[in-house]
Amino acid sequence: MLEENENVQYKVIRFCASVINYGGRVTDDKDERFIRTFVCRFLNPEMMQEGTYYFDETKKYPCPPIGVQEDYKEFIMNYYDNVTPELQGLHPNSDIITNQNKSDALLVSILSVQPRAVNLKQGKSQEDI
């Protein structure tokens, strides 16, 4: 499709990526809308203007320079080790919520393996067992 047309058909590529690729897997209308919006943000003609397109408003995540597949792989592996919420269009504070949820889950796991108080007159403690 890309080789047969003179101009890149972004509308068709977005449809293929968002609707055809995920069709049937995403059933919620809000999720479908999110995927379409997300794909529009990452697949657009402005990306082809080298050195001018950024995936976030803070201009921390530039679009990689035009190259071959290996160039893109190397760019991604070297650049995006710690992705921040801005790249995904989220508020920077959403990272705080995520870290709090992870901490809560860790503490719940730790507390779940702690021994419970046992009345020693009734039998063996968990440590003895």
Judged against a pLDDT cut of 60, whether residue 118 lies above it is answered with: no
What are the start-end ranges of the H helices in 16-85?
Answer: 29-42, 69-79
Compute the Cα dihedral for 85, 89, 92, 93 and give only its sign: negative
- Which pLDDT score is estimated for 119? 59
- Which pLDDT score is estimated for 21? 82
Q: Name the residue with tokens 């080790």.
A: 81
Terminal alpha carbon distance of the chain: 67
Confidence label for 46 from pLDDT (cuts 50, 70 and 90): confident
Judged against a pLDDT cut of 80, whether residue 87 lies above it is answered with: no
- Which pLDDT score is estimated for 69? 92
Check residues 2 and 35 and name the one with the higher pLDDT: 35
Q: How far apart are CA 45 and CA 92, in angstroms?
A: 27
What is the CB neighbour count within 10 angstroms for residue 99?
10
Q: How far apart are CA 62 and CA 71, in angstroms?
A: 14
Compute the Cα dihedral for 83, 84, 87, 88 and give only its sign: positive
